[in-house]
Amino acid sequence: MFFNNLGILGVAIFAILSAMIINNIVFGGINYMAAFGQSGGGENIVNGTPDVAENGDKKLAIITFDDGKKGQIQYAKRILDNYDYPATFSIICNNVSLSDHLDWHDIQQLERDGYDLASHSMSHTELEDIPMDIANYEISESKKCLLDNGVRDVRVFTYPKNGGSDNPAILKEVAKHYDMARTANDPLTFVKCGLTNSSLQDEKIDCTSFGENEEYGKYSIIGWSHDSEREDNGYNDEQMLQRFIDVVESQSGYNDGEEIGAIPIIIYHDIDTTSGFYTTSFELFKAEMKYLKDNGFIVISLLDLI
């Protein structure tokens, strides 16, 4: 069964009376009161507001990491382990073992501990900027590189710099080697799903693709770049936390009980002691994962979509 996103669609940010507070989050010793409709300086990303979801509607989230940075295992993993959250880690093969990147022992440890590994190309070159034969090499050799270095299974490709996910030749090459692929950058990916088990403990989502490109829909699944949004808007950690809440809660207008219409696929890069260029502080990441836990989100794997 195929998955297809409608990335060209926008996302609705909900407007509710300011007195309706979601959660009181303790972050870095400061209490942040997060309410629907507050975006920490961000803009609403679609015109019109869907009906607020009723209590009991399922809320899902998917966590992914790009670039294979060292902080992902030093800082992020301990929080993921604590909540037993699945995640997908995308590796740039030529960058493995650089000073601030994962080494092969780290990568194998992630897989042993149950996390999914994905290819993020050989050199992180945008695929549409290079000749097709080199793009094919970047796509296929990066999977071989992971397998040759002790990774057991590589089913996912993530597009470097999001380039190529709408290029028919590149999509065709990715489909030869992988079961699915993820790009960016919209806050939600839209799906048509029926959930067969309310607990979702051991169930996959039954997704049927819709739209024009059924054959390659699951090779252009869209995610939301947490770090790109921070950079574009100059958010501090407090504002980024509020924006994170806006994004993950925005699915509720599209979900109805067990029927899931939209899912946020969150893309992180490095995790470190402080926030910076494409880096999320450990304290912010911890607060965001705690928000998912405290507010009833079910975190599923990217591969659960197929």
Q: In this predicted structure, what is the pLDDT of residue 258?
A: 86
Q: In this predicted structure, what is the pLDDT of residue 194?
A: 43
pLDDT tens readout for residues 39-53 = 333 322 222 233 334
* CA atoms of 60 and 292, how far apart (whole Å): 9
* CA atoms of 245 and 227, how far apart (whole Å): 14
Alpha helices in the chain (DSSP H): 71, 77-83, 104-112, 132-148, 168-177, 226-233, 237-249, 282-294
Q: In this predicted structure, what is the pLDDT of residue 46?
A: 26
pTM for the whole thing? 0.78
Question: Which DSSP state fits 21?
Answer: E
Helix pair angle (226-233, 237-249), 10° resolution: 130
Alpha carbon of 214 to those of 2, 187, 188, 206, 208: distances in Å?
A: 7, 22, 19, 15, 9
187 exposure class (CB count in 10 Å sphere: 0-12, 13-18, 19+): buried
Q: In this predicted structure, what is the pLDDT of residue 260?
A: 85
In this structure, what are the phi and psi dihedrals at residue 256, rounded to the nearest 5 degrees? -135, 100
- Residue 222 · residue 18 · CB < 8 Å: no
Q: In this predicted structure, what is the pLDDT of residue 191?
A: 77
pLDDT tens readout for residues 114-168 = 999 999 999 999 999 999 999 999 999 999 999 999 999 999 999 999 999 889 9
Q: In this predicted structure, what is the pLDDT of residue 305?
A: 87
How many Å separate Cα 135 from the centre of its chain?
24
Question: Which DSSP state fits 13?
Answer: P
In this prediction, the residues of the chain whose per-residue pLDDT falls under 50 are: 1-55, 193-213
Q: In this predicted structure, what is the pLDDT of residue 39?
A: 31
Q: In this predicted structure, what is the pLDDT of residue 190?
A: 81
Token code pair at residue 83: 């909540």
* Fold assignment, 21-47+58-305: TIM Barrel (3.20.20)
